[in-house]
Chains A and B, each alone.
Chain A
């Protein structure tokens, strides 16, 4: 192998690794705050990517309708919970977030889809649509189960993943799609050629990580999210609603997922079910980070990306196998290093 190939593979690995890092961070965040292992993270990626690609191709994405349908579902849940003490203000807020908002977005989507909108509008619409789906899914599928065990939440998570994947097939069909590059053009540095798209990936990943770091370190809501992750009862005693923290976590995770999708879809053809495998690689990174450590997860994600790039060169048939095998030594070491964790009680 010569240096040029090695540099190419490294570049490829870092680009993918950056995406896995974002996904891994979202997984850690959601798990720490809500104890949900977010299997449908991959669907957020696909939905974001394919909504973006559909819009850019002048097609109406079904996800905008799904957002409204889920919003109506979320509103119904709010009504059922509040039936004994109907508060005008609470109902109004629920109507606005769950029905008015997705209706406006649906109207905008219908309007713009007909006229091949510019890239920026496609991105914003896709992000908002997937963010709403994430928020309503939390309300419908996870908030009512918030007090159950990790296992029950995991089962719900798998259910949501399967449902979203099926709906993805319905909305986008079995054929793959590609979207337009967010930033076109390229430049060369030595043997390496940097495309605008790969620079976008680096830029957005770094910006997002810095943004998250500032959010968690400096803002009251960011600190509240950390507090919920550290001590759920303590947070409630400080007046921080677990549901609020859960909503913020799901909102962030769905935006991160959709953004990753939008960054990948100009590079790779994505199918309705591609997200799962991409999400799983973020999951490998998150597991290596023990589902708690953000920096370790980010570093592990880069390792996953590099291992994937090199194994696709040397043994492309086994590339997925090799990536997932990374988990085995990590799990072994973790099980030896840490004593058995007591079954949580909550």
Chain B
């Protein structure tokens, strides 16, 4: 079976500086794939380029179709969703309107049932449906951003640092929901600095350093890899002090 998303030999540059060099990756159906790596490794840049926000040299195919000539909106309509690091919510609009707009490209009748599914996934959002997005807490905003993306019925959801700046209990919640998404048939490409948590739920993993993938394989193998443990998991091993 061919992969849902396949990126081949991708380069992304800001002017003359190449932030992503010769990266190839694949995400299959019903998979959680994670990209771990330090701050500034190029993870966010890569996701933005796959989404069409930044120009990418190389080949990106989604569901068997080359994305080169499609802009962001077309990629969304094809079933590719991105929850960006800064969430990009409509802060002066309420929760329900944010969700409704997430289904802008979906038939109205289907959107109605989608919103109930999102509320079932995030009961908190239902409680706050009439509240302005800008007044939500960080965790709720992250839920809303994910909910809005899910309203577009994506086949693949790309999550950029969903746990950043959130309380541990909410982080656990979000990771649990990511695994639920896989169970419901949505693939996830997860970019995380919290490598330990990401590797625990992922099927496959890529390790990114200075714009390149230095390691890839089954998530459990990557988690067991000594070099990865030393560079990315060291501070987070249970029982170890942060110093």
CB 8 Å contact bits of A215-242 with B (1 = contact, 0 = none): 0000010011011001101111111110
- Beyond A231-B89, A233-B53, A233-B88, whether A240 also contacts B100 by CB under 8 A is no
Judged by a CB distance under 8 angstroms, whether B37 is at the interface is no
**A241, B91: Cα distance in complex, Å:** 19
CB-based contact B148/A238 at 8 Å? yes
A231-266 interface (Cβ within 8 A of B)? 231, 233-241
Judged by a CB distance under 8 angstroms, whether A333 is at the interface is no
The one of A230, A231, A238 that contacts B76, using a Cβ cutoff of 8 Å: A238
CB-based contact A234/B76 at 8 Å? no
Tell me how far the C-beta of B83 lies from the nearest C-beta in chain A, rounded to whole angstroms: 8
Judged by a CB distance under 8 angstroms, whether A341 is at the interface is no
**A235, B92: Cα distance in complex, Å:** 13
CB-based contact B69/A241 at 8 Å? no
What residue in chain B is nearest A232 (Cβ atoms)?
B88
Judged by a CB distance under 8 angstroms, whether A345 is at the interface is no
**A287, B92: Cα distance in complex, Å:** 21
Tell me how far the C-beta of A111 lies from the nearest C-beta in chain B, rounded to whole angstroms: 39
- Beyond A236-B73, A239-B73, whether A220 also contacts B53 by CB under 8 A is no
CB-based contact B91/A239 at 8 Å? no
CB-based contact B105/A234 at 8 Å? no
CB-based contact B101/A224 at 8 Å? yes
Residues of A contacting B73 in the complex (Cβ-Cβ under 8 angstroms): 236, 239-241
Tell me how far the C-beta of B125 lies from the nearest C-beta in chain A, rounded to whole angstroms: 16
Residues of B contacting A89 in the complex (Cβ-Cβ under 8 angstroms): none
Judged by a CB distance under 8 angstroms, whether B188 is at the interface is no
Q: How large is the interface on B (under 10, 10 to 19, 20 to 34, 35 or more residues)?
A: 20 to 34
Q: How large is the interface on A (under 10, 10 to 19, 20 to 34, 35 or more residues)?
A: 10 to 19
- Beyond A236-B72, A240-B73, whether A220 also contacts B104 by CB under 8 A is yes
CB-based contact B104/A237 at 8 Å? no
- Which of A224, A234, A235, A238 neighbours the largest number of chain B CB atoms within 10 Å of its CB? A238
Judged by a CB distance under 8 angstroms, whether A338 is at the interface is no
Residues of A contacting B76 in the complex (Cβ-Cβ under 8 angstroms): 236-239
**A233, B53: Cα distance in complex, Å:** 9
CB-based contact B152/A234 at 8 Å? no
Tell me how far the C-beta of A236 lies from the nearest C-beta in chain B, rounded to whole angstroms: 4
What residue in chain A is nearest B134 (Cβ atoms)?
A230
The residues of B with any CB-CB pair to A shorter than 8 Å are 51, 53, 69, 72-73, 76-77, 81-82, 84, 87-93, 97, 100-102, 104-105, 108, 148-149, 151-152
Known pairs A227-B97, A239-B77, A240-B101 / 11 extra A-B pairs, C-beta < 8 Å: A234-B87, A235-B101, A236-B76, A237-B76, A237-B84, A237-B149, A238-B76, A239-B73, A239-B104, A239-B105, A240-B73
